[in-house]
A and B are shown apart, each in its own frame.
Chain A
Amino acid sequence: MTKKKNNIFNRAVLAAMVAVTAHFAHAQNPAPAAPQTKPIVLTGATIHTGNGQVIENGVIAFDKGIITQVGPAGSGNTSGAEVIDVKGKHIFPGIISLNTTVGIQEIASVRATLDFNEIGEINPHIRSLVAYNTDSEVIPTLRGNGILLSQAVPQGGIVSGSSSVFYTDGWNWEDAVLKKDDGIWINWPSFLARSFNFEDFSVTMKRNEKRQEVIDKFSGVFADAKAYADLKDPSPINLRLAAMKPLFNGSANLYIRADYAKDIVESVKFAKAAGVQKIVIVGGDESYKVAAFLKENQIPVVLNPTHRLPGRVDENVYLPYELPGLLHKAGVKVAVTYADEWWRTRNLAFLAGTSSGFGNISSEEALQFITRNAAEIIGADKQIGTLEKGKHASFLVSQGDILDMRGNDVEMVFIKGGKVNLDDKQKRLYEKYKDKYGKK
C-alpha cells in the first residue's frame, strides 16, 4: 500500500499534538494557511489540468498566489523558488462544491446550529455570506479530500436567497469568500406533488394542483424587480427587489431548483421572458429528457447528488450514475454536487468518479464536473477551475486518482499559493485512539 492518510500529517501538526493536551486545544480547526511568501515549483507529478489535458511528469510554478507556469518537465523558471519534488503524485485543480449548506449547517438535529432556512416566502435579500462559519468542523473534512471551494446556499421559501462561494480555508467569511452573492436561488413549484398516506405509509405522486399559484407569485415579483431595477433612485427602498437587480444585468445567476422535465422547460422560459440573463438549473433529475432544449438555450445544470436511487421504479438502475455523462455528451454544461447533504460533501470526487465508471465518459471529462464546469457556472473561471497560467494557485496533490477511493489521498493543498494545514478533528481523534491502542 502506498502512503495513506494516517501518516500524511505534516510534522508541525504532529508536534503540536504531542505538546498540547488532547481535549483542550484540539477542539479548534487549525489556523488557515499563511500567504505565499516566495515562488514555489512542484515537479514530477502527473498534472490533470481540468480542461481534459494530462501532463505526465509535469511542472507547476506559482508566485504570490497565482500560477506562473504549467507545463512538461524542464519548463518554467525555478530560480529563487522552493522546489518540491512530488514525483509519481497527481495534481488536480481544487474541487469546487456547489449547491451546499456547508458552513451554514452543522448538526442536523440541533436547531441552534442550523442557519440555512429563513422564514418567509420571497427572500432574495437573505444572504448566506454573513452566516458562513469558517469554524465549522465539516469544512476541514472537505479540503482534506481536495474540495477547495464551497458554495453556501440558502434553502427554503420560494425565493430562498443569495449564495456565495468560499475557499475552504480562511479566518472568517470575509477572508474566505471568493465570490460574493453569486446568484439568487428559487424553488420552482414541482410539476408533481408527493403526498404521504399515513394509513399505509405509502407515498403517491400526482400532479401538483397548487403550482400555478406559485408561478403567479414569481411572475409578480420578477416583474416588480425588473421595473425596480430600472429606477435610478428608488424610493421607498425595497431590499428584496434591490437584491434581484443583478439578475437583470447578468452579474448574478438565477439558480432554479427544478427536477421534472416540464418544470425545467417552463422555468427556463419564464426566467428568459422575465429578463434574467444567466440561468442555471439545479437538481435536474430529468434534465436528460430536455438536454437538447438546455443545450440550445445554453443553460448549465447543477445536479443534485447522483448517488441516489432512480426516480421511478422502472427507470434504468444506473440512470442517476449515468446522468452527468448523458448531459455532457449532449453538450450541456454540468456540475455534480451534494446539495444539502453537507456532511457527505467530502465524497464529491467520488460522484464524479462514479459518473465515469458507469457512464461512457473518461475520468478527465468527469473531473470537469467538479472543477472547470463549476467554475464557469459561477462565473469564476478566470480564477479557478483549471490549472492555467494566471489563475489562482489553488490545487491539490494526491497520491493517485482523486476520483477513485483507491487514489484519493490528498497530501498537499495550496489555496491561492498558501499551503493549507490538512489537520482536522477527525484525524486528531484517530491519532488519539491510535495512541491509546499503541499503534503507530
Chain B
Amino acid sequence: MIRRLSTVMAFLTVSVLSYGQETFPRNGAYDERSGRYAFTNANIVVDSKTTIQNGTLLIENGLIKEVNKQVKIPSGTVVIDLKGKYIYPSLIDLDSDYGMPDVKTERRAGGGRATPQLESNKKGAFGWNQAIQPENEAATLFTPDARKAEDLRKIGFGTVLSHSHDGIVRGSGALLTLTDESANKAIINGKASSHFSFSKGTSTQTYPSSGMGIVALLRQNYYDADWYGKSGKTQEKNLSLDAFNSLKGLPSIFETNDKYSVLRADKIGDEFGIQYIIRGGGDEYQRLDEIKATKAPLILPLQFPEAYDVADPWDADLVSITQLKHWELAPKNASEVAKASIPFAFTIAGIKNKGDFWKNLRTAIEYGLPKEKALEALTSVPASLIKAEGQVGSLKAGLLANFLITSTDLFSKDNIIYENWVQGKKFIVAPLNATDIRGTYALSINNQPTGKIQISGTVEKPEYKVILQDTVKITLKAVLTNELLTITYQPDKKRQENVRLTGWFTGKGLTGEGVLPNGNVVPWSASLSEKYTATAPKDSAAKKLAETGKIVYPFTGFGNEELPKAETVLIKNATVWTNEKEGILQGTDVLVQNGKIAKIGKSLSAPSGAKTVDGTGKHLTTGIIDEHSHIALFTINEGGQTSSAEVRMSDVINPDDVNIYRQLAGGVTTSHLLHGSANSIGGQSALIKLKWGANQSEMLIPQAKTIKFALGENVKQSNWGDVARVRFPQTRMGVEQVFYDHFIRAKEYAQNWKTFNAKKTGTAPRRDLELDALAEILASERFITCHSYVQSEINMLMSVADSLKFKINTFTHILEGYKLADKMQERGIGGSTFADWWAYKMEVKEAIPYNAALMYHEGVTVAINSDDAEMARRLNQEAAKTVTYGGVPEEDAWKMVTLNPAKLLRVDDKLGSVKAGKDADLVLWNANPLSVYARPEFTMIEGTVYFDRKKDEDKQKTMAVERERLIQKMLSDKAEGKPTQRPQGAQPRMWHCEDIVGVHAEHAEEK
C-alpha cells in the first residue's frame, strides 16, 4: 500500500489530472478535478466517415461529452484553441502483450530428441495439457509498464487488448488503456476476449509435438469442455475447463503466422460454431479467395521483409522467387485484403523496430490501401471486433476521451502527433504551440554584422545553419527550449574555437549574450530578414501507386498466374496401358472430356474444340499413385503419445510444396499422405491429387478414410538413443498390448455411444476423437495402412486384428512380406513396399528385392511406394525393378504404381486405369514407362494438364526473367540506401516417415 501511494504521488507531481481509486486511502488532500476541456476550432475526425471541420470536442471526467460544430462550453472549462489542427481517435492494438509477464520459452538443450515429458508440469487442479491454459487471465497478470506505455502513446496508441502470448489456449485478454496511472484505472474490460494459437509456448510437455497434434488437442478440448459443462463437473474438478467454459461467447482471437494457418484456424472454428478473429502473418494476399471465404475478420501485421543483398549472383541464388516476390508484395497485403472487403485491424506486433510503424503504414497506403481503411483498421474495426465500440474507436459522446491531436492528416508524411489524450489525461508527444522561429536572420555580434542564421526544418525540429560573411556555411549546434536558444559554432574549423551564444526569441528576432573564444562577453542579436517558405516535396513519384508483379498460385517460382483448366483432349495413336482386361493396346486413341476419360478406341474423331495430341511412338498410362508419401505436409509425426489416432494429416497439407510439381514431372497424380511411424497408432492419412496451384480442399479426396499404424523399431524407439526409454512400448511385446488396450477401449466406447443413442437419455459419453477413429476402424469405415518390417510383428498384428475382428487394409514397407505372403493373401491384406530398400537398420536386414514379386505371385495386391519425395518422381523405374527381380509381367508391374494402390486406397472406382468413365488422370510417356529412358510429356489430372514438358522449359525462362526483375528492383533499393539482409534461403524439406516430430533424420540410413 505504501508503494502504491508513493507511485500515485509520483504521478501527481508530473500530471495535472489524476484520479484516485474510490476505495483507496489517500496520503494528503484529495485532488479530484472535473477534467473538463474544450478543444475548439479543430478538424475533428469522429470516425473514418465523419469529419467535423472547425468543430469543438468537449470532454469531462475522462469521457467525451460532446462533439459538434457548435458546442456550448460550460463555464469552468479549460478551452484549448486548436485552429487548423486535427483530432483523431487514438489507435487500438488487439494483439498486444503490454503489461504481461515475459514469456520465456525453454529451449531444449542441443535441440532434437529429448526425454519425453508425458504429463503437465503445472501443479494444481488444472487440465492435463500444459499448453492449454484458459485459466490465464490477462487482467490478473497485468502490471502497468510506464516505459512501454509511453512508447506506444508516442506512436499514437491509446488502448490495447493485451493477453499472455503463451500456449495453444491462452485464456482471457484484457482491454487496457495506456494511461500512466494504476492498473485499476487502465483496465477498461478485464475479460474482453479469449485467445488461441498454434504454438505451445512455454509448455515442455511432449504432446502435442506437431501441427496436426495441436489442432487435435484443441478440438478435443472443445469436446471435453462441453462434456465437463454438461456432466463431467459432477465427477471431477478441472479449473482449466471451468475457465474455458466461462470464456465462451467472448470474441475469440486466434494467432497464426501464415495464410494456411489462417485457414486451419477457421476450420476449427467452423466445427464448433465459432468465428475466430484471426491474427494473420501478412501473406494473406497469396490465398485471398480462400481467406475471404472463411469470413474471419483479420488482424494484420505491418512488418515487411527487408530486401536481400543480391549483388553477388551466386549468393542471390539462395533466395527463392517466393522470397523475392513476398518482399515485393508484402506491403500490398493490406490493400489486397481491403479490396476483397475483408474486415481487418492492424497490429504493431511483429514490427521489430516499433518506430517503423508509421513508415510501414504509409508504405501500405502507397501500395493502394485507402486512408479510411487504414484509420478504421486502427480504430473502429478493432473496437467493434472486441465489442468495445461503446468505449473506444471513435470520437462519439459517451466514449472514453482517448484521442490524438495532430498537425495534419494522420497519415501524411509530415504529420506530427502533438498530444495523446488517454481517458481525458494529456500526454505530450510534441509541443502543441511551438513557436515557429524558422526563417533567415541577420546576425550581429557585438553590434557587428557577422552573417546570417538560417533556420529551416520543421517547427518542432528546426535545423540551423550559420552563413558567415565569406559565404561559408556552417552547421551550428543549437538547443531550443521554450523560446530560449543556445547556439554554438566554430567560425574557423581549423582553429577549433567556439563562439557560444545564449538568447531568447523576441517575436521579431533573437537577442542575448555571447562569449567569444577570446573570453570577451558581447551582446548579440539576429533580426528576421526573410520568413521561411517550405519547398514543395519532390516525391511526386510516391503519389503514384507502387507497381508490383503478379500473384501466382501456388506462391512459388513454378506457380501460375492463371490456373490451368480442364480441356477436351484427343490423344491419337498411342500405346495405351489400360490396366484393364484389354491390356496394352497399340495405336489407340483416348478422348478426354469433362475431366473424365470419355472414349477409348481406334480412329476416334475429335469433338469440336478438342485439342489433339499425337501419341505416335508414345505410351499413355493412368497417373502414378504413390501409396506412401510425405510430401505437401507441414509436419509428419505426432510422436507425443503411443496413439495419435485423433490427428488428421488433412489439417497440415501444404499446397505450396514444390515437390508436388516435381512429382507431376515424374508422372505422379495422386499421393497418399501418411503420418510418420513414431508411434503404434499414428494419424489419419490424407489422399490428395497433385493439383498444382489448387487449395487444400480442392486437392483432398475426402472419401478415402485411412489411418497409419506402425510396428517395430520406430514405435519402440530403438534408434532414438537413450533419451527415448520412457514412452511405452519399448519392445515388440509391448506393441501388441498397445493395440489390445486401445481397441478394447474403442469397442467399449462405441458400445457406450450406441447405448446412449438408442435411449437418448442420461448423460452422453465424452466424445473422444482418438477412440472415434479407432471405432471407425472397428466399423470398417476407416482403413489401416501399417508400417511394418519383420514377420513376427506382421503376424502379431494380423492375429490381434483377427481376435478383435477388425481388418488390416495394407501393410506398408512390409519388407518381410514375402515371408507371410500366404497369410496376407488369406486375409485379403495388401502389401505396399519398396522395390529394393534394405540394410539401413536391423529390421530390414532380411529385406530382399524379390519381395514384391513373391507377394504378387502369392496373390497379394502389391503396390510399390516411395516414402521419399525424390524416389516418388521415378516410381516408374521402381516398378520396373519388380520385372527384373522376380519376373513380374510388365503389365502387372505397372499396376503396382497405379491400379493396385488405387485398390488399396479404395478409389479404384475412379482412379487407377484407363477406362471410360474414370478420372482423366493421364500421363503421356516418350517411351515404355518402365524404361529408365522414359519421361512424361505431360501429366494430366481430371483433364487438366498440370505438367507439360515444353511448358516446363518455357517456365524456366520466364522464372529467370521474373527473378531478374525482382533482383534489379532490390538492387535499386540497396542503391537508395534501404536496409538489406544477407541472402538466406529455406532448404526444401524431405520428409520421411521416421522424421520424428519434424526433426529430419539427417542420414539416409534412417529412412
Which residue numbers of A lie inside 8 Å of B, CB to CB?
Answer: 1, 4-6, 106-110, 137-138, 192, 194, 196, 198, 201-207, 260-262, 289, 307-310, 312-314, 316-318, 340-344, 346-347, 350, 353-354, 356-358, 363, 403-406, 408-409, 426-427, 429-430, 433-434, 436-437, 439
Contact = CB atoms under 8 A, between A and B. Distances in A.
A405 B848 contact: no
B901 to A, nearest CB: 19
In this complex, the member of B818, B873, B930, B932 whose beta carbon has the largest number of chain A beta carbons within 10 angstroms is B932
B334 to A, nearest CB: 24
B885 to A, nearest CB: 6
Given A109-B719, A309-B870, A357-B934, A204 B881 contact: no
B140 to A, nearest CB: 28
A433 to B, nearest CB: 5
Given A6-B850, A404-B931, A205 B318 contact: yes
B931 A405 contact: yes
A207 B322 CA distance: 19
A342 B839 contact: yes
Nearest to B869: A309
A-B complex: 4 closest residue pairs judged by Cβ atoms: A108-B1005, A201-B998, A353-B932, A357-B933
Interface string B872-898: 011001001101111101100000000
15 contacts: A1-B883, A108-B840, A108-B841, A201-B997, A203-B986, A309-B869, A314-B557, A350-B877, A354-B877, A357-B927, A357-B931, A406-B931, A406-B932, A429-B818, A430-B848
A84 B313 CA distance: 59
A437 B819 CA distance: 10
A370 to B, nearest CB: 13
B887 A6 contact: yes
A313 B857 contact: no
Given A342-B839, A357-B933, A433-B819, A205 B870 contact: no
Interface residues of B, number: 87
Nearest to A351: B932
Given A308-B870, A347-B836, A430 B883 contact: no
A405 B884 contact: yes
Contact of A204 (B111, B818, B984, B1005): B984
Contact of A1 (B889, B952, B963, B987): B889
Contacts of A137: 839
Contacts of A308: 870
B854 A437 contact: yes
Nearest to B989: A203
B552 to A, nearest CB: 12
Given A109-B840, A204-B984, A404-B931, A430 B854 contact: yes
B486 to A, nearest CB: 47
Contact of B933 (A198, A356, A408): A356
Contacts of B107: 198
Contact of B840 (A312, A317, A343, A403): A343
Interface stretch (B292-300, B599-607, B655-663): B655-663
A311 to B, nearest CB: 8
Contact of B108 (A198, A203, A207, A342): A198
Contacts of B837: 343
A125 B822 CA distance: 53
Contacts of B884: 4-5, 405-406, 408-409
A317 B932 contact: no
Contact of A206 (B819, B839, B848, B984): B984
Contacts of A429: 818, 846, 848, 850
A340 B886 contact: no
Nearest to B663: A317
A342 B107 CA distance: 36
A251 B857 CA distance: 53
Interface string B986-1004: 1111100000011110011
A309 B719 contact: no
Given A203-B989, A313-B988, A350-B932, A110 B842 contact: yes
Contacts of A363: 933
Q: Which of B836, B848, B927 has the most CB of A within 10 A?
A: B848
Contacts of B917: none
B805 interface: no
B314 interface: yes
A109 B845 CA distance: 11
A314 B839 contact: no
B932 A405 contact: yes
Contacts of B846: 429
B1006 A404 contact: no
A201 B890 CA distance: 41
B332 interface: no
Contacts of B591: none
Given A109-B1006, A307-B871, A430-B886, A198 B931 contact: no
A1 B848 CA distance: 21
A6 B713 contact: no
B985 interface: yes
Contacts of A202: 986-987, 989
B956 interface: yes
Contacts of A356: 932-933
B1000 A196 contact: yes
A110 B713 CA distance: 12
A403 B880 CA distance: 13
Contacts of A341: 1004
Nearest to B556: A313
A312 B841 contact: no
B973 interface: no
A340 to B, nearest CB: 7
B207 interface: no
B100 to A, nearest CB: 20
Nearest to A7: B887
Contacts of A426: 838, 848-850
Nearest to B317: A312
A434 to B, nearest CB: 7
Contacts of A354: 874, 877, 932
B959 interface: yes
Nearest to B200: A199
A307 B659 CA distance: 14
A405 B880 contact: yes
A289 B886 contact: no
Nearest to A101: B1005
B983 to A, nearest CB: 7
B270 to A, nearest CB: 25
Interface in B338-387: none
B285 interface: no
B398 to A, nearest CB: 45
Given A196-B111, A314-B558, A309 B988 contact: yes
Contacts of B659: 309
A405 B876 CA distance: 10
Contacts of A192: 318
B20 to A, nearest CB: 46
Given A310-B662, A406-B880, A353 B933 contact: yes
A430 to B, nearest CB: 4
A308 B986 CA distance: 17
B320 A314 contact: yes
A314 B989 CA distance: 14
B947 to A, nearest CB: 9
Given A4-B884, A196-B1000, A198-B111, A404 B317 contact: no
Contacts of B836: 344, 346-347
A312 B317 CA distance: 8
Given A198-B999, A430-B854, A439-B857, A4 B886 contact: yes
Given A262-B314, A405-B880, A406-B880, A317 B952 contact: yes
Nearest to B934: A357
B935 interface: yes
Interface string B724-746: 00000000000000000000000
A279 to B, nearest CB: 21
A314 B963 contact: yes
A202 B211 CA distance: 13
